Amino acid sequence: MTSALIAALSTACAVWLWTGPNTATTRLAKLLAPTAADPRWKALLHLLTRPTAATSTPARRADAWRRASIELCQALAAELSAGHTPGESLTRAMAAVDFPDPDLLRPVIAAARDGGDVSAALTASAPQEGGEGLRRLAACWEVSTTVGAGLASLIDRVAHTLRAAQAHRQDVAAQLAGPRTTARMLAVLPVLGILMAAALNMNPLAFLFGSLPGLMCLTAGVALDVCGLWWTSRMATQAQS
């Protein structure tokens, strides 16, 4: 019973340390202020108190481009239905959509406004990751220009396909949220163990940084921890692709 309670408390503390608010980690830093003068403790506290919100990653940037492509197709279809010309419709639709990098699409706007090759501009401006919607839109524009097919109907089909793909990715991401959280919790457990050892005056940092066996244990532990996080992230990314 006691071991189960300790395990439950340790798990709860690990989750709190990883996902807790900044105010809580600040209080932790104050409690450990006497030992925080040691540079090794400063590095450990920086690891615990860093912001948990991740900056813009390639995956998030690609997702933003996919969402913007869906909005562009919907806006373009609405403009075409209102009776505007394709070039004018594309210019108005792109002005209404918030793209991750608007400067990247300036050649497309220029081609639509001046009567240039819009399909080539869309293909050249589409990012490698997340630019599938723009490339499909370029193909629709090319087919409409070459064969004379209805551009509005083609874009409606592309928008429907993009929305279905986006819904599938969101469903997969929701199912992967649990395994990702578990992996992060397991990754932070060694840090919790170091803190518990320090609270018992066992001086774990002196062993880890001041002796060869400690350095070997630290190196192996960090390497295994990083490999575990990388492998989990890789499997999740492959499942979403």
Q: Could you read off the pLDDT of 198-228 as tens digits, one per residue?
A: 888 888 888 888 888 888 988 998 888 888 8
Q: Are residues 90 and 160 in the same domain?
A: yes
Q: What are 46-103's pLDDT values in tens digits? A: 554 444 433 358 878 888 999 999 999 999 988 888 888 888 889 999 888 888 888 8
Torsion, Cα of 217, 220, 225, 227 (10° steps)? 180
Q: What is the per-residue pLDDT across 172-195, written as a single tens digit (0 to 9) for each?
A: 878 888 877 888 888 888 888 888
Indicate the burial class of 114 (C-beta count within 10 angstroms; 0-12, 13-18, 19 or more): exposed
Q: Decide which of 164, 196, 226 is a domain's last residue.
A: 164
Q: Which domain holds residue 215?
A: 20-52+170-240
Dihedral class, residue 51 (left if φ above 0, else alpha if ψ from -120 to 50, else beta): beta
Return the percentage of the chain with pLDDT > 90, whole number.
8
Number of domains in the chain: 2
User: pLDDT tens, 15-44?
Assistant: 555 555 444 444 444 544 544 445 555 555
pLDDT at 126 over 50: yes
Answer with the residue of higher pLDDT: 6 or 51.
Answer: 6
Question: In the predicted model, is pLDDT for residue 157 greater than 80?
Answer: yes
Looking at residue 149, its pLDDT comes to 61
Give the closest residue to 120 by CA, choosing from 139, 98, 99. Answer: 139
Boundary residue ending a domain (164, 193, 222): 164
Q: Judge whether 5 lies within some domain.
A: no
For residue 113, the tally of other CB atoms under 10 A from its CB is: 13
Is residue 159 located within the same domain as residue 63? yes
Domain shared by 147 and 214, yes or no: no
**198 and 214, same domain (yes or no):** yes
Same domain for 46 and 74?
Answer: no
- Global pTM reads 0.57
